[in-house]
Structure 1
Amino acid sequence: MTYTNEIKIVLADDHKLLRDGLRNIIEQKSNMKIIGEASNGREAVKICSKLLPDVVLIDIAMPNLNGVEATSQILKINPKTKVIALSMHSTKQFIQRMFHSGAFGYLLKDGDSEEVICAISTVIRNKKYLSKDINQEYLNLLKNKDTLGKSKLSSREKEVLQLIAEGNSSKEIGEILCLSSKTIDVHKNNIMKKIDLHTIPELTKFAIKQGLTSL
């Protein structure tokens, strides 16, 4: 199937230089247009809810809300959006979590410009795309469970855990999520019980290991 309409794209990455580079690559194609940019996951969700893009290129490791959780929220708003993950990581864990969140493509950041266009052209035809430098058999990971799912953390708890790891206080997290600091403390206690970790350094290490933050 050939997609004949103009492809509306949102770029989400906390590095402006990378967004500028992607924009220069993509806008050379007459049927592709960048309609919005975001520098963190929460901003990406907000922009996508307003603009309803066809494709989103999103960095996995972004501040405030990582690409995995942002992807889940974007697709709840508009399930037709095709999300392509951008990452420096080619490990099974990251690939698995992104595809389980609903992503349709996975691109390594050290890929070439032609691959970016190829990935967009592929997912818009409702086909999954995995970076050519990654073992294509990794797509079989879609049959397995999300590795972080073993911790039994809810989406809200994952958000709170990331913000804790990034050094935010309960009050600051509450302001970001529009919740009271007491509610955040309840989430924090639940997180500690579920994963059996009881200090901020331990929680931070866990969040980094699970790919919730790149600190």
Structure 2
Amino acid sequence: MINVVLVDDHELVRTGFRMILQQQSDIHVAGEAGTAEEGLRLIRTLTPDIALVDVHMPGMSGIELTERVCRSKLSTHIVIVTVVDDARFPKRLLDAGALGYLTKGCSADELVSAVRQVAGGRRYLAPAVAQQLALATLDGSASPFDTLSSRELEVAMMLVRGKPLTMIGEQLNLSPKTVSTYKQRLMEKLHVDHVLSLAHLMTVHGLIDTPNHHVGN
């Protein structure tokens, strides 16, 4: 039996996924969460085979959740499900440790197939995404965020949500000085000089839906 948890802030999306997956005799939906924080707790408690994770959620993002699951060496495989189908973004997510990538426009059959494939330890890429990744590799185009380390990306995601360095430090178990160093380094790599520019760049590349209006310098 493949145990799955659903992590998405839209109840309608979770309901749809649950209805599709529970029709399969070999798949069991063990739990649901509306936030990544809640999802992380569920994953640690239930240790499911698969977590279907939305990218854009209030609070912690799907990227951060993926990073933390991988860093904690949990056995759960992450399948990212999102509306974003830009090849630059999936590559960053797969680098973060996700084994699967689906768009919300996928069919019920594709969803089930992806869950089974990733449960077997194999990577699954939606066909459209695989094609885009191949084309991106051929023409050499890449997201500037590919140059960031996992930790730098995590700090960047928190900065654009207006979190102060002290709070970021507490959440990541780092000193504010270390967080400040990460901030300086990631801004140099991305060639931006303040958090507002960082938020704009993240929006352009699909890492956040819209810039946070509370963003400061």
The residue identity in structure 1 corresponding to 2:151 is R
The residue identity in structure 2 corresponding to 1:82 is H
Structure 1 runs of 4+ off > 6 angstroms?
141-146
Distance 1:100 1:141 in 2: 18
Identity %: 31
Distance 2:136 2:97 in 1: 10
Aligned to 2:10: 15
* Residue 59 (str. 1) matches residue 59 (str. 2): no
Alignment length, in residue pairs? 208
Distance 2:142 2:15 in 1: 32
Deviates more, 1:25-34 or 1:177-186: 177-186
- TM-score w.r.t. the length of structure 2 is 0.78
Deviates more, 1:173-182 or 1:111-120: 173-182
Aligned to 1:3: none
Q: What secondary structure is seen at the aligned counterpart in 1 of 2:38?
A: helix
* Residue 193 (str. 1) matches residue 193 (str. 2): no
Distance 1:43 1:24, change over 3 A: same
The residue identity in structure 1 corresponding to 2:21 is I
* Residue 73 (str. 1) matches residue 68 (str. 2): yes
Shift of residue 86, structure 1, vs aligned partner: 0.4
Pick from 112, 123, 127 the counterpart of residue 128 of structure 1.
123
Shift of residue 150, structure 1, vs aligned partner: 4.7
Distance 1:148 1:52, change over 3 A: farther
Q: What secondary structure is seen at the aligned counterpart in 2 of 1:58?
A: strand
The C-alpha deviation readout for 1:111-159, integer Å capped at 9, x for no partner, is 2322221211222233332324x164456589899845554x3333322
Pick from 50, 64, 78 the counterpart of residue 83 of structure 1.
78
* Residue 118 (str. 1) matches residue 108 (str. 2): no
Q: What secondary structure is seen at the aligned counterpart in 1 of 2:97?
A: coil
Distance 1:67 1:184 in 2: 21
Extract unaligned runs of 5+ from structure 2. Answer: 211-217
- TM-score w.r.t. the length of structure 1 is 0.78
Distance 2:146 2:4 in 1: 33
